[in-house]
Structure 1
Amino acid sequence: MLATPTLEGLIIKNPRLRDGRPIIAGSGVTVRTIVGYYKLGLTPEETSDEIDLDIASIYAALAYYHLNKNEIEADIQANSEESLIKEMSQPVNA
Structure 2
Amino acid sequence: MAQGFKTKAPAKPKTKTTQKKLQNKDPKKGARTIPPKKQSLVAQAIVHRKNTSSHHTSLEKTIATQAISHGKLTIMRSSADETEEGRKALKK
| TM-score in same-fold range (> 0.5) | no
TM-score (norm 1): 0.31
TM-score (norm 2): 0.31
- Which of structures 1 and 2 has the bigger CA Rg? 2
